Structure 1
Amino acid sequence: MTMGQHMRKAGLPYRPHGFRSSFRDSVADRTNAPREVAETSLGHVAGSQVERAYRRTDYLEQRRLIMNEWARYVTGEEESIHDDF
């Protein structure tokens, strides 16, 4: 069962895309994370075909920082996302 199906079954008015959109907006507004890192965090392909041919990183450590900050923010442990970049 998908996350959206679980949410509908539970009677929640929210959808997963809304969480993804909120995440992306927060990263853009509250951090200096490069666009490529933010987009890769969402599973998007970032950059042109030429850029991707030369860029071999998956930004794992940078994504980990963003995701840990986001987790603390959405669980109420932090009032805002910090700028660690």
Structure 2
Amino acid sequence: MLRRDAVLTIDSGGTIPVRPHARGRNDVARLILELMGHFPLLRLEPGHINGRPGIVLRSSGRVVGVLNAVRRGGAAQELWIVVNPEKLRHWDAL
């Protein structure tokens, strides 16, 4: 669940043509769906990102992204998604 005032930041390193920021529940949800459309057979798995619970995004067996969120009042308020391949290289080695 997203808070009404949710904020999303995406680091794609310029490799995926998506906006890097979204504000507001509806805009954040739309941008997440747009991003997911770039990865066929996307699978979401629980994981730890920077020592915190998060979500690992896999497509065709390889890590294509990681998501971290800060929850407030039981819903996600601040979300960060990294899909920049340069920053994800070590994930496939895990």
TM tier, shorter chain?
Answer: under 0.3
More strand by share: 2
If you compute each CA radius of gyration, which structure gives the higher value, 1 or 2? 1
More helix by share: 1
Taking structure 1 as the reference length, the TM-score comes to 0.27
